[in-house]
Structures are given as C-alpha cells and as structure tokens.
Chains A and B, each alone.
Chain A
Amino acid sequence: MTYVKHLKRVAGFMGLGLLLAACAPTEDMDSSLKSGYFYATSGTQAMQDEDIDNPAFIWVDIGEEMWSKVEGEAGKSCASCHGGDASSLKGVSVSYPKFNKDDGKLRALQDQINAERTERMKAKPWKWEGDQMLGMTAYIKLQSRGMPVNVAIDGKAAPFYEKGKAFFNQRRGGLNMSCKNCHVDYPGKYIRANLLSNGLPNGFPTYRLKWQKVGSLHRRFRGCNKNVRAQPYKQGSDEYTNLELYISSRANGVASEAPAVRM
C-alpha cells in the first residue's frame, strides 16, 4: 500500500524531473535514475516507509533536542533565529551543497550548520560524524522529505561541479575503478554480494544496516573509496563536497528521502 503510494510520489517527481531537464542547462540530467529505495529489499523499504520502524528517527530526536538547546557565548540556539521548530527550513536542504559567496567556497549542509554555530552562536563546531551533527542534518533534511533534490550547478558553483564530475569519473585505488564504473555502467547488477544502485545521495544521512547507525554521505564515500582500495579523503574535505555536488546534481528531480534506510 505504502509502496504504491511511494511509486506514485516518485512518478510525480519524475514528471517534474523531465520538466527540469527541459529547461536546465545540463547534459548529465537523466530522469531515469532511480532512488536507492528501488534497489533495497522489501524489508528495508518497509523499515523506511514507517517512521516508527525507521531507526534513523532516534537521531532525528537528537536533532530536535539540539535545535532548541542554547549553546555558545552568544546565548543562542537554532530556535532563536529560525523559530520553534525546523519547519521554517522546509525546502532548504535540497539545494545543498551550495556555493557561499561570503567565503567563496562550496558548503555542504554540515558546513553551513557549523558556520552558523561558530559565527552566530559563537559555539564550538560539531564533529562531522558526531551524533549531534548527524541528528541535526537528519532533522533538517526531514523537513524537506518528498521534495525533489534541486542543486545549482551553474554560475559560481560550476567549477566545483566540474571538479566533482572529474572525481566521479577518475579511476583510483588498487582496483583502478571510478565511481562511474559501478554506478553509471552497472546499476542493478551485483558486485560480489552487493547490489549496485545509481549512487544517488537523496537518502542521506541514512540509517545503514551495515553500520547499525546513521551515517553521513561522506562516510559512505570513504567506504566506497576503501572498497576500491584507494586512500579515502576526510569527511568534509573539498574533494568529497565537490563530489556531493556532482552526485546531487545527478539526483536533481528525485524526491529527497532523508533520513532513509539502506543496506
């Protein structure tokens, strides 16, 4: 029942994806790309369909708690500026990573949260893979659930997009494989025991059964890089943020599912 509902929802967004493709200046947009949800087993899908069965919501609770917690010298919390709950941020997270004109850098959602913490709240930044950061990103992204991913890749973001694209297509590691070799060439096929997906980030931060906890997209990148026996970069590094922009642009038009459940 819920599966059918989801199909309808995705079908709706696929229509939107086509519309976007018609007016957006990109050659890489492919509306046939599917969310990782379609590559998941029915059991994993069922976990994601019901919020109460979705373990990621324990992190959403953490995020909700941190939202109104006053920290730092400025005596502020997120709620001081953004209001009592995060619903004011509906539709914000789907446009990240985003070019920031103040420091001329590409910011992932995590970078933005930490910038707000250090600049406005005068508080300590959170660790990328800490429970608070995972919780807050999950909580903020939850507000935009169901909305199509929509990152800008033109203008100032274009050079970052190009770098991300180059990273995606660059062979690396002992196995000499690029992201493309699996996620463009062989989605739907098995790599040893694992089913390959289109490699879309629309469910992140996601509860991964293998990790038994919520993890960031950059943690997933590290795992992928290690699997091809390449030296992984750090979470929050420029390389990974650029790559996040590129694969988010591949997911443009696909509904955001964060916080999702994946294998």
Chain B
Amino acid sequence: MARKPRIKVPKKAKAGDIILIKTLYSHKMETGLRKDKKTGKIIPRMIINSFACKFDGKEVFSATLYPAIAANPYFAFFAKATKSGTFDFAWTDDAGKKVSAQAKIAVS
C-alpha cells in the first residue's frame, strides 16, 4: 500500500553550492475530525507526523506535522553541498510505520 515517495536531489554539485531538495509523499493525511458519511463514526486520525532528512547520518532538515497539513505533504528546502554522500529521507505515520528513501549526490 505504501506508495513510493518522490524526491528530487541534484546528482552533481560544486562544493559550497546551495542546492534545492524537493520531496513529496502521497498520503491521505486523515485528520481524525471527519466522520464517515454512512455510519456517522469518526474516521481515526492517520497522518504523517514527522519527516526527517539526514545527510550521512547527520540531520539536515526535520519537521513535525499536524492534522492541519493537507494531503500529499510536499517539502522543499535548501542545503549546502560540502561533500559527496547520501541523503536519507524518512516519513513516519501515526501507526509508527516508516517509509524511507535515499538519494546520492556527487560533490566536486
């Protein structure tokens, strides 16, 4: 069921460059405030509650998400390229399920 997250990291960069990283994960982001139209019962909350981006194990960006954030959360942020390495992205939902993705960058 878990869909593939989409990430965009430049493949190459020069040392010292400011690079733009874009991520998008398709998720319903059920707020826990909606009612099922047929049964009248509240649909339990199920959102991505945290997102983190690490570079070679060191955190460069993280966010805590709340129910007011719309479906398919999209993050774009900047990072400074210093050396070649791997970006690790992780999304965690309310059930504790973690979805991760990696992207490599070559810095010259």
Seen from chain A, the residues whose Cβ lies within 8 Å of a Cβ on chain B are 50-53, 57-58, 61, 64-65
Seen from chain B, the residues whose Cβ lies within 8 Å of a Cβ on chain A are 1, 3-4, 6-8, 22-24, 26, 72
- Chain B residues positioned under 8 Å from A65 (CB to CB): 1, 3
Asked if B22 and A58 sit within 8 Å, CB to CB, the answer is no
Residue of A whose beta carbon sits closest to that of B22: A52
What are some 20 contacts across the A-B interface (CB < 8 A)?
A50-B8, A50-B22, A51-B6, A52-B6, A52-B7, A52-B8, A52-B22, A52-B23, A52-B24, A53-B22, A57-B6, A58-B26, A58-B72, A61-B3, A61-B4, A61-B26, A64-B3, A64-B4, A65-B1, A65-B3
Closest-CB distance, B2 to chain A (whole angstroms)? 10
- What separation, in Å, do the CA atoms of A65 and B3 have in the docked complex? 8
Closest-CB distance, B51 to chain A (whole angstroms)? 15
Label chain A's interface by main secondary structure.
Answer: helix
Label chain B's interface by main secondary structure.
Answer: strand
Closest-CB distance, A257 to chain B (whole angstroms)? 19
12 more CB-based (< 8 A) A-B contacts, given A52-B22, A65-B1: A50-B8, A50-B22, A51-B6, A52-B8, A52-B24, A53-B22, A57-B6, A58-B26, A58-B72, A61-B26, A64-B4, A65-B3
- Chain B residues positioned under 8 Å from A64 (CB to CB): 3-4
- Chain A residues positioned under 8 Å from B72 (CB to CB): 58
- Chain B residues positioned under 8 Å from A61 (CB to CB): 3-4, 26
- What separation, in Å, do the CA atoms of A50 and B8 have in the docked complex? 9
- Chain A residues positioned under 8 Å from B7 (CB to CB): 52
- What separation, in Å, do the CA atoms of A61 and B24 have in the docked complex? 12
- What separation, in Å, do the CA atoms of A64 and B6 have in the docked complex? 13
- Chain B residues positioned under 8 Å from A53 (CB to CB): 22
- What separation, in Å, do the CA atoms of A50 and B10 have in the docked complex? 13
- Chain A residues positioned under 8 Å from B8 (CB to CB): 50, 52
